[in-house]
A = this chain, B = another copy of it.
């Protein structure tokens, strides 16, 4: 297997996941700034033009970070990062989705629309970026509340939800500086949790 990737939060999620599992595979860099991900050659791997993409030994390609992680979990079940019983699996899925949909997508949309980082290939609407920045900040309150109740997002077990939110939370600090927005990242429970998560060797 090979992982086609670039320096992006989504690729980083897969690296952290693989480190937690002790999986080490070849990595093939994709030059996103130069638009390599938008070429016909790359779109044959992932028609959505995104990274990362996992290339299987039989030549098939798998895109979408969480789908890649789930595939790796099937091949290497221990330690589980998607949960064991019905409730835990569902709860991890719920928190992983909240981290992505409610926080990360808003933060990323703020970044792209305000900074115009990809304005060579997409239409940016700065006013919308500000709406998203406010939304990301507001949604963080739900994570802060949850982390007052448990060590990790979906309970006592470190999971893919913590990998996702940990990577996005770290990235959000950079977005704050580049887009000059304020997500109010510095909240007591989130901070305590991020210290716990980011000191794991998989995050280094």
A64 touches B123 (CB 8 A): no
CB distance from A13 to the nearest CB of B (A): 13
Residues of B within 8 A of A93 (CB): 64, 66-67, 70
- In the bound complex, CA of A127 to CA of B31 (Å): 30
Residue in chain B with minimal CB distance to A74: B86
- In the bound complex, CA of A154 to CA of B94 (Å): 22
A90 touches B102 (CB 8 A): no
* Residue among B64, B71, B75, B89 making CB contact with A74, cutoff 8 Å: B89
A71 touches B87 (CB 8 A): yes
B48 touches A68 (CB 8 A): no
CB contact under 8 A between A60 and B47, given known A93-B66, A94-B67, A97-B67: no
Count of residues in A whose CB is under 8 Å from the partner chain: 37
Identical copies in the complex: 2
- Is A128 among interface residues, defined by CB-CB distance under 8 A? yes
Residues of B within 8 A of A71 (CB): 86-87, 89-90
Residues of B within 8 A of A113 (CB): 128
- Is A28 among interface residues, defined by CB-CB distance under 8 A? no
CB distance from A116 to the nearest CB of B (A): 13
- Is A62 among interface residues, defined by CB-CB distance under 8 A? yes
- Is A91 among interface residues, defined by CB-CB distance under 8 A? yes
Can you list 19 residue pairs at the A/B interface with Cβ under 8 Å? A47-B145, A47-B146, A48-B139, A48-B142, A56-B87, A64-B93, A66-B93, A66-B97, A67-B90, A67-B93, A71-B87, A74-B86, A74-B89, A75-B86, A123-B134, A125-B125, A125-B127, A127-B127, A127-B128
